[in-house]
Amino acid sequence: MLATQEQQQEQQLENRLNGRPLAVVGARDYLLEKIRTRQANVAIIGLGYVGLPLAMAFAAAGFPITGIDVDKKRVDMLNEGRSHVSDVPSEQIARYCANAHRPETLQGSFRATTDYDALYDMDAVIICVPTPLSRTKDPDMSYIITAADEIARRLHHGMLIVLESTTYPGTTEEIVLPRLQRVKVDRASLAVGEDFFLAFSPERIDPGRTDWTVHTTPKVIGGITPHCLLMAQTLYESAINTIVPVSKTTTAEMVKLLENTFRAVNIALINEVAIMCDRLDVDVWEVVEAAKTKPFGYMPFYPGPGLGGHCIPIDPRYLAWKLKTLNYNARFIQLAEEVNFGMPEYVVHKVIGALNDSCKSLKGSQILVLGVTYKADIGDLRESPALDIMHVLHELGADVAYHDPHAPRVLIDGWSLATAELTTDVLQSADCVVITTAHATYDWQWIVDNSRLVIDTRNVTAHVTPSDCRIVKL
């Protein structure tokens, strides 16, 4: 049955190509038609916060999707229809996994594997692997290199490769392209833009958001050649509402870095303004609320306990590193890092000062941290400033506990800690409650009513009814 259907699909495709045999149709035309008819097999390398939502978007568009990940437990979970990403419900995974066993369905399908040999049968491959920093704070390209090498071993005529991993400008041309160009088929090299196609499209997913999703967030795409751009654009526009083509891959790479550097620099500015306001005895939150009433020339940013997540703390460093290789010092980025990465220590000093005002020492005090994920209402702990705050408080001798409905356990430099039960007794026994993440499930009025001292780094207590609790804002 399967073979018959595949033969029928090939015949239909051949008919759409004016009856020309598939063997003599150019790789470009053949792949383009396969994409347009949703017959292209699409692989997603890396099934994390970026890759899995993207896989579901293409499956929803009707494509057969193969997800490749090195984590076997994750792969097994996905093939059982269970999701590990909060933005992707398990029901969605299960629906497309089930369709994989029903080739007659008109809907897309999804399967996961650890085997890179699946690439032999793929028409399009999208790389969504991590791009962390090394111990020396330089870009770690090892995941991209591994993915590119695995693709190169299985590269064939008519394959589209798209890099989505955030990286420095030049990565697609300097790291991915040379590895693919070394490949020879029948003793001949494959030409980019004719035999295979290479593009870059930065991921723009903001975990936890429902207003802007993988479908609705505009997709920037740059190709190595115009034909590469056309191929990638045709693929993405089948699943994403708005496509923004740019002239080359380096431009697309720079777009993502500009977006997150813009945010990092402006967050650093408002964090420093918060410190200034503290010295001036001015409420920074009131200042921001008043300033944002100006209808032009101002965009509100808000202070916080530091930067978290995989993108904003890391992406500007990729740009700074690249510019350093060109003998240019990215001063704004360096200054922003200094301010932002100093905020956890600033919060600790606020805790120490507030305890001193109550004639208490930090050492031996019971500190309860509320919210440890890097942003509200998600379970992502990557680069969370709350973990840095807890680490410093612990090192200084405080008795630290935390509560977070999205993080049942944390590991901080070998120190393992499980979330506490948030009860009246727990709040009342704490010498200080530190609010670091504003989860929607928290009842701030109840928390304040049952606490003695609160350090509020998110201004969530702005509208609570005054009580005996002393509130210290960032």
User: Domain extents for the chain?
Assistant: 2-247, 257-340, 343-473
Distance (Å, whole) CA 215 – CA 49: 15
Give the CA distances from residue 371 to residues 63, 236, 455, in Å, rounded to whole numbers and listed in that order. 39, 36, 13
Count of helices and strands (H, E) across the chain: 17, 17
Over residues 364-408, the pLDDT tens digits come to 999 999 999 999 999 999 999 999 999 999 999 999 999 999 999
Rounded to whole angstroms, how far apart are CA atoms 456 and 347? Answer: 9
Encoded tokens for 87:
């933005």
Superfamily of domain 257-340: N-(1-d-carboxylethyl)-l-norvaline Dehydrogenase; domain 2 (1.10.1040.10)
DSSP assignments along 101-133, one per residue? T-TT-SS-EEEEES-GGGGGG-SEEEE-----B
Helices marked H in 210-307: 226-236, 249-280, 284-291
Distances (CA, A) of 400 to 167, 275, 364, 386, 403: 36, 25, 9, 12, 11
Q: Where are the beta strands (DSSP E) in 297-449?
A: 366-370, 399-403, 409-412, 415-418, 432-435
Tens-digit pLDDT profile for residues 120-173:
999 999 999 999 988 888 899 999 999 999 999 999 999 999 999 999 999 999
State the first-to-last Cα distance of the chain, in angstroms, to the nearest integer: 66
277 part of the active site: no
Q: Pull the structure tokens for residue 443.
A: 């009842």
Predicted confidence (pLDDT) at residue 206 exceeds the cutoff of 90: no
Confidence of residue 95 (pLDDT cuts 50, 70, 90): very high
Strand order in the sheet with 159-163: 109-113, 64-68, 42-45, 124-127, 159-163, 196-200, 219-223, 243-246
The two beta strands, 64-68 and 109-113, are parallel
pLDDT for res 463:
93
Strands 42-45 and 64-68 come out as parallel
Instruction: Say yes or no to pLDDT of 101 above 80.
Output: no
pLDDT value for 26: 76
Across 8-17, 155-164, 313-322, 458-467, least confident range: 8-17
Quick one: tokens of 171? 């990565």
- The token pair at 102 is 């029903």
Longest dimension (CA), the chain: 87
Spell out the SS3 assignment of 169-238.
CCHHHHHHHHHHHCCEECCEECCECCCEEEEECCCCCCCCCCCCCCCCCCEEEEECCHHHHHHHHHHHCC
Tracing tokens 């008109």 back to the chain, one arrives at 106
Give the lowest-confidence range in 66-70, 87-91, 230-234, 393-397: 87-91
Residue 8 has pLDDT above 60, yes or no: no
- CATH architecture of residue range(s) 2-247: 3-Layer(aba) Sandwich (3.40)
Q: Distance between CA 46 and CA 67 in Å, rounded?
A: 7
Of 334, 302, 48, nearest in space to 164 by CA: 48
Query: Average pLDDT, whole number, for the chain?
Result: 92
Of 247 and 100, the one with more pLDDT: 247
For residue 204, is pLDDT > 80?
yes
Q: Are domains 257-340 and 343-473 of this chain identical in fold?
A: no
**The pLDDT value given to residue 20:** 45
Q: Which of 97, 311, 359, 469 is catalytic?
A: 311
Q: What is the CATH code of the structural domain delimited by 343-473?
A: 3.40.50.720
Q: What is the pLDDT at residue 396? A: 97
Q: In this structure, how many other beta carbons lie within 10 angstroms of the beta carbon of residue 320?
A: 22
Percent of the chain exceeding pLDDT 70 equals 93
Q: What is the per-residue pLDDT for 189?
A: 84
Each residue's pLDDT tens digit, 427-453: 999 999 999 999 999 999 999 999 999
